[in-house]
Amino acid sequence: MGLELYNAMILSLLVVVAALSLAIRDLVVSAMVFGVYSFLMCLLWAEMGAVDVAFTEATVGAGVSTVVLIATIFNLKRKAKD
Amino acid sequence: MKRTALIVVLLIGLLLAWAARDFPSWGDPDAPASSSPVSSHFIASTGVDTEVPNMVTAVLADYRGFDTMFETVVVFIAGLAVVSILRGGPRRRTRDREFVVDFEPDLIVTNTVRLIVPVIQIFALYVLAHGHVSPGGGFQGGVAMGASFILIALAWDLKTALARFSIDRCFLVAGLGILIYAGIGLFSMILGGEFLDYAHLAKILPVSPEMARYHAMLGVEIGVGFTVTAIMFALYASLSTDGRMRDGL
Amino acid sequence: MFEEGSIFNQLLIERLNYFIYVVLLLMGLWAMIAKNNLIKKLIGMSIFQTAIILFYVSIGVKDEATIPIYLPEHDPHGSHASTEHNDTGTFSPQVLEASKVSGYTNPLPHVLMLTAIVVGVATLGLALSICLRIYRGYGTVEEDDLLLKLEQEDYRNARGFKKRRPRRRPSSTKASSGAAQTASSEKSKSGKTGQVNRRSRSKPPAKKSESSATSRAKKPARRRPRPQKPKEGDS
């Protein structure tokens, strides 16, 4: 019961975070929220028993993907039109 | 356009949701994926064939070594493509960005990073080497190592990080990683087996065929780690400076 | 509405996970189609990818199964190995039987998804570099502005206007700006040409001399002779 509750909570948070990341206009904030999305994925996989996948997503999602996204956005305009 | 997209996407969603009713229930051990003979063989015989406790590493580096080799090649090609796309071509018309990221390296940040980066690198090497027994392996260790170089670039400026790991050396290291991987495969072929059949390495190493597979897996993971480290740093260096490699984030 | 066997119960309670994965897939797909900004499209692509990976990994979940690393009693190098297999007391690894096999999570989806995650980040890096290149060439990453600029360029090409020369080497204008300015002052500003390869200077000459003067101040004098620009005017 506890695990299912945990699952349901993280999944609903996941949907909310994904929607936020797409709706926010400031691109740097959007990239940060995408980092949060990666981290929630990592937690979900760790709960499911996929520890290697969780480790990889933690390093790649938060370490490289988010940083590279923010580094690119600094070279572009920061505010999206929609 | 947006409304059409929304309608189409909702239709696809209805279709997928209707198909989702046919999925096996959550965590069913009799589901076709869980009870397939291939996975059962992997779980049952990893200990006997390779003496590696971590099944995922064994399947990744030994049973499915081809996929991992070509994935490493894909990462290498992606890094090469990024550097070559951004390096050439006309320079931007507006020479300055929206922000001017021009500051002195902060005292606290640089001293903390000075203490932390060796620890990160040792941990990355540990994750790489201990991937046989605990969660980890080549990719995770490689990415952590590349992230340590990115941390140097963030705390000081990119010039400091490039002085330690220039782009030419990046590609050298990445190519070396692929060479190590394919070299071990070719070596097994020379010794009489098939490509990437590590058991034949027992002919020159003084160990049993299972332990030969164990050690060859470590070598292969080291190759993967090299490539991933170099390419992650090259990716960051190219993207944060728009190919110029001069100022940085 | 929520009784056993109805659609809502099946979807939302028993298979909540799969339903949420479908929602995430839809969000990613919609973002890739409908968003204007290219970076938002890429974020949508990443959301789509991770949702697929989530789906795959959750196929291999077994109830009350441990992680796919051997427990100490099955461990080939474990010290608490059971000695029932061998009389001499040393442990030799045995193939696990089926009851023990179902105690471990399926490792195959994890392996495939490891590859997928790393390839996903490589794809993201490549896509971001193309975005930067687009920004360098057109000055914008919004899709509607880009389409507008491309249309204008197509119109200009169709009507026979010549493309503006990209200001790649400011010092090259130094050698040819003298000749170019006299030539451009004669040509029509509209640039409506038929067969000649004259350049239509859309920048006024005054700005050009000032920029070339500043660039001349920055760069040292070039020794290599640069080709004169009007030379390519002849066929």
pLDDT tens by residue, B178-214: 999 999 999 999 988 888 888 888 888 888 888 888 8
Phi, psi torsion values for B142, nearest 5 degrees: -65, -40
The answer, yes or no, to whether residue C87 has pLDDT greater than 60, is: no
In terms of Cβ atoms closer than 10 Å to its own Cβ (0-12, 13-18, 19+), residue B44 is buried
The answer, yes or no, to whether residue C45 has pLDDT greater than 50, is: yes
DSSP reduced 3-state for A24: coil
The answer, yes or no, to whether residue B77 has pLDDT greater than 90, is: yes
How many CA within 13 A on the CB side of residue C106? 26
pLDDT score at B56: 92
Residue with tokens 């020379």: B190
Closest CA to B246 of B161, B189, B155: B161
Number of structural domains in chain C: 1
Q: How confident is the model at residue C228 (pLDDT cuts 50, 70, 90)?
A: low
The answer, yes or no, to whether residue C92 has pLDDT greater than 80, is: no
Dist CA A59 CA A48 (whole Å): 18
Our CA-based measurement puts residue B245 at a distance from the nearest CA of chain C, in whole angstroms, of 14
pLDDT score at C215: 45
Among A7, A49, A65, beta carbon nearest to C124: A65
Domain boundaries, given as residue ranges, for chain B:
49-88+107-240
Dist CA B141 CA B131 (whole Å): 9
Q: How confident is the model at residue C7 (pLDDT cuts 50, 70, 90)?
A: low
Q: How confident is the model at residue C222 (pLDDT cuts 50, 70, 90)?
A: low
Residue with tokens 């390495």: B201
C40 or C194, which is more confident = C40
Structure tokens at B178: 């692929």
In this structure, how many other beta carbons lie within 10 angstroms of the beta carbon of residue A26? 12
In a domain, residue C187? The reply is: no
Angstrom CA distances, C114 to A33, B129, B139, stand at 23, 18, 8
How many CA within 13 A on the CB side of residue A64? 35
In this structure, how many other beta carbons lie within 10 angstroms of the beta carbon of residue B129? 16
Size of interface A-C (CB pairs under 8 A): 120
B89 or B6, which is more confident = B6
Among B56, B143, B154, beta carbon nearest to A52: B56
Alpha carbon C156 to its chain centroid, in Å, reads 29
pLDDT score at B103: 72
Most confident of B230-244, C32-46, C100-114: C32-46
In this structure, how many other beta carbons lie within 10 angstroms of the beta carbon of residue B221? 27
In a domain, residue C2? The reply is: no
Vertex B130: Cα angle to B126 and B134 (nearest 5): 120
Whether C110 contacts A53, CB under 8 Å: yes
pLDDT score at A63: 85
Dist CA C128 CA A64 (whole Å): 13
DSSP reduced 3-state for B100: coil
DSSP reduced 3-state for B51: coil
In a domain, residue C94? The reply is: no
Report the CATH number at residue C45.
1.10.287.3510
Dist CA C235 CA C233 (whole Å): 6
Q: How confident is the model at residue B112 (pLDDT cuts 50, 70, 90)?
A: very high
Domain housing C64: 7-68+102-153
Size of interface B-C (CB pairs under 8 A): 190
pLDDT score at C234: 46
Question: Could B82 and C126 be called an inter-chain contact, meaning their C-beta atoms sit closer than 8 Å?
Answer: yes
At B67, which helix (H) or strand (E)? helix B65-87
Dist CA B212 CA B199 (whole Å): 6
Angstrom CA distances, C50 to A21, B12, C36, stand at 14, 18, 22
Q: How confident is the model at residue C161 (pLDDT cuts 50, 70, 90)?
A: confident
Question: For chain C, what is the radius of gyration of the CA atoms?
Answer: 33
Sign, CA dihedral A20-A24-A28-A31, equals: positive
pLDDT score at B145: 94
Dist CA C223 CA A36 (whole Å): 55
pLDDT tens readout for residues B43-53: 888 888 888 88
pLDDT score at C197: 43
Our CA-based measurement puts residue C34 at a distance from the nearest CA of chain A, in whole angstroms, of 10
pLDDT score at C112: 92
In a domain, residue C191? The reply is: no
In a domain, residue C51? The reply is: yes
Nearest Cα residue in chain B from A79: B98
